[in-house]
Amino acid sequence: MPKHESEYSEDYSLKVYSPDEIEFFMQGDRREIDRLLLHGINNLAIVLVKHAKDEERMFRGLGTAEEVKIRSEWVDAQIKAQGLRNNMMTKVAESSVTWAVIIFLGFTLKAIVEYAYTLIRAKVG
């Protein structure tokens, strides 16, 4: 009795034949071509079934559609909160720079006024 797909322990991969290999097979016995086709179809089925099982296992691991939606909403909320935090930090940084410029201008104006006052007192004095 032939082995079932689940009894195969080795990894199967798909084979792509070159045009020369195809021509070589076409010159041979048709039974050989049928054998290659059947093995190719079988290997394709094994690879696809394994891939489908892996995907099903992955989707089961993700949870139900409702669970995925809840996680998606949570991630969206985290992204939004981070965006708000970034905006706040930008405003704080801009405000700090504005206050630094105002203070600098205030000290500069005070120095100019004191210098002018000193010059005036020296001329008047």
Interval 3-20: pLDDT, tens = 554 455 556 667 788 888
Dist. CA 116–CA 107, nearest whole Å: 14
- 2 Ramachandran zone, left/alpha/beta (phi>0; psi -120 to 50): beta
Q: Which domain holds residue 92?
A: 65-125
Q: Are residues 30 and 72 in the same domain?
A: no
pTM of the full structure: 0.38
Q: Are residues 46 and 71 in the same domain?
A: no
User: Which of the listed residues 11, 31, 62 is the one where a domain comes to its end?
Assistant: 62
Q: Are residues 57 and 74 in the same domain?
A: no
Q: Are residues 37 and 13 in the same domain?
A: yes
Dist. CA 53–CA 61, nearest whole Å: 12
Q: Are residues 77 and 47 in the same domain?
A: no
Structural domains in the chain (count):
2
pLDDT in tens, 26-59: 888 888 888 888 888 888 888 889 899 999 888 8
Lowest mean pLDDT among 33-37, 88-92, 101-105: 33-37
Q: Are residues 57 and 11 in the same domain?
A: yes
Distance in Å from the first CA to the final CA of the chain: 123
> How far are the Cα atoms of 20, 59, 74, 96, 108 from residue 85, in angstroms, in the given order?
63, 34, 16, 16, 34
